[in-house]
Amino acid sequence: MFFTVSAQEQTRKQSFLMDAPDNWRKETLTLPLSFAPELDYKGLEFVRFSSGWGDKNSEEFWTYKFAWHLDVDPNITAESLNKELKIYFDGLLNLVGTGKGLTKEAIVPTKTNIIRSNSEKLFIGEVTIFDVFFTEALKILNVKVSTTYCEITKKHIAYFEFSPQPYQHKLWDIMNQIIIPCK
């Protein structure tokens, strides 16, 4: 019993590791993810959804960020990101879409185009998804992925930022501020 309570308390504390604006919705998932078990990572995924994430009339529509908090270096490359983001989104969208009554054949497979930017630890590109959540139409999301390592906690962190807005939009500045402090 004590272990269960301690584990639940630890998970609750960890869920607040990644700050975000107060009006952004927060979720914490355990890796490996149930909808993408092929992604062989162990750790936590912290997700932060903009307040307008689910509002197709909002400039924040489909804008969100997640971070993988890992014990082992994910050794991210452009090639691995293209493969893993396809697995991630296809798994998520098939789970949600079939849960809403769509057939797998109706859900268009995800397309990815991620490249390394000028920085060794930054990748940019886009993913084209079939939006099963709101519009049941294709949606292009711009993507930024970066990695870091915290010497203090001995954790590897991979940040994933998504928005249909161009990179110059103010939402990217907001997402850049959403981090897991190294302490």
Distances (CA, A) of 164 to 19, 54, 121, 128: 22, 13, 22, 10
Domain of residue 124 covers: 24-176
The pLDDT of residue 23 is above 60 = yes
Determine the pLDDT at residue 9.
40
Nearest to 62 by CA among 160, 139, 145: 139
In a domain, 171, yes or no: yes
In a domain, 108, yes or no: yes
Determine the pLDDT at residue 118.
78
In a domain, 75, yes or no: yes
In a domain, 7, yes or no: no
pLDDT in tens, 32-81: 999 999 999 999 999 999 999 999 999 999 999 999 999 999 999 999 99
Sign of CA dihedral 177, 67, 94, 166: positive
In a domain, 32, yes or no: yes
Run of H or E including 149? strand 138-150
The pLDDT of residue 4 is above 60 = no
Determine the pLDDT at residue 16.
55
Q: Indicate the range of 16-30, 65-79, 95-109, 134-148 predicted with least confidence.
A: 16-30
Helices (H) and strands (E) in the chain, counts: 3, 7
What average pLDDT does range 129-158 have in this prediction?
97
Determine the pLDDT at residue 120.
75
Residue 127: CB atoms within 10 Å: 21
Distance from CA of residue 138 to its chain's centroid?
18
Indicate yes or no: pTM above 0.85.
yes
Task: Compute the mean pLDDT over every residue in the chain, rounded to the nearest whole number.
Answer: 91
Determine the pLDDT at residue 175.
97
The pLDDT of residue 103 is above 80 = yes
In a domain, 65, yes or no: yes
In a domain, 13, yes or no: no
What average pLDDT does range 133-145 have in this prediction?
98
**117 falls in which pLDDT band (50, 70, 90)?**
confident
In a domain, 118, yes or no: yes
How many structural domains are present in the chain? 1
pLDDT in tens, 74-85: 999 999 999 999
